[in-house]
Structure formats: C-alpha cells, structure tokens
Amino acid sequence: MQKINRCKWAKKNSSLLKYHDKEWGTPVFNDQKIFEALSLEIFQAGLSWEIILNKRNEFRHAFDNFNYNLVSKYDESKLISLYNNKKIIRNKLKIRSIRNNAISFIEIRKEFKSFNKYIWSFTENQVIVNNYKNYKEIPVTSNLAIKISYDLKKRGFKFIGNIIVYSFIQAIGIINDHTTDCFRYKDLS
C-alpha cells in the first residue's frame, strides 16, 4: 500500500484528516458555502479547528444551514436562543457578528452580483500557490489578508481581523498552503 503524504496538521485525527483531504484549500465559488466558511472561521478564533469541525453540523442546524438571507433577519429572540444553545460556541460577540456579516454579505452580493466574484477579485480569480515545505513556514496572515480584512471592515463586517481572513482564504482555496510534499498540493497546483 502506497503511503499518502499529507500536511502534518491533518494527521492529528479523523475529522481533520477528512476536512484536509476533501475541503481545505479547494476553490469554493458557492456563496452559501463561502458564508459558512467565513462564519466558522470567526467561531474558530481562539479555539482549535477540531472543536469547530466537531460542532459543524450543530452550527449548520443553529444557523439555518448558513443561509445568509435567513441569518440577516435574525431578531433578538433568535440571537438569545443562539446564546443559550449549548451545542454551539456561545460567544455573544461572534454570534452577533454572524448576523451582522450576513447583512453586509448581502450588500456585497448586490454590488458584485455574488460574494464569490467580490472575494476572488482580490486575486483576479487566481489561486495563490505557496511553496512551503514545512507547515511551520506557513504564516498566520499576509498582505492580501490585511487588504481583504480592511475592505470587509470598511463594508461593515465585524470580528474579521487579518488572521481570520487568512484562515478563511486558505479554507476556500484562494491560497493553496498545502505543503509541497502533500498530495493535495499537487492536486490543486
């Protein structure tokens, strides 16, 4: 049996392995999936990605499958129910930011016809392929992430610093940060 090389972080457990092999770094163009990825990155801030993946289905259920149109209309009673939902991360600032960001997400869609056209315009629809040999070389942010974070904040997004944005653009495949020995690096380059 041939050994499959993967990014070192993905080898910690089966949920990370599955996410790495099937999703992370794969270009995403579906607005609802992009909104989900952005929202999950916000919830992940300060926590491990494993925690978020283990609660992902609960997040989907709690946030109406990350339907930004529905999320943008959440009233105070819905927000309170989310604060009390023990199956998700109950951080009030993060929860409020998701509703707020859904509203701003819709505004960007109006201007650009889709959020994916907006977000991919920062790289002229090209994937940035980095050539890191070791996961320790991978930065936590970049000039691109700083630029996108600044623009999103200007457009009303909350809880959207450049480190969150960098993780987000890695997740949706704008940046390919799979290490050069990883089979996904080769698949996506």
Contacts 24+ apart (CB under 8 A), 121-124: 122/147, 122/148, 122/174, 123/174
49 is catalytic: yes
Marked catalytic residue, from 49, 118, 132, 185 = 49
9 is catalytic: no
24 is catalytic: no
Marked catalytic residue, from 41, 68, 120, 132 = 41
Beta carbons within 8 Å of 70's beta carbon, 6+ residues apart: 64
Marked catalytic residue, from 19, 23, 50, 135 = 19
Q: Give exposure, 113-126, as e/b (b: 16+ Cβ within 10 Å).
A: eebbebbbebeeee
The secondary structure of the chain in percent helix, strand, coil, rounded to multiples of 5, reads 60, 0, 35
As annotated, the active-site residues are 19, 41, 49
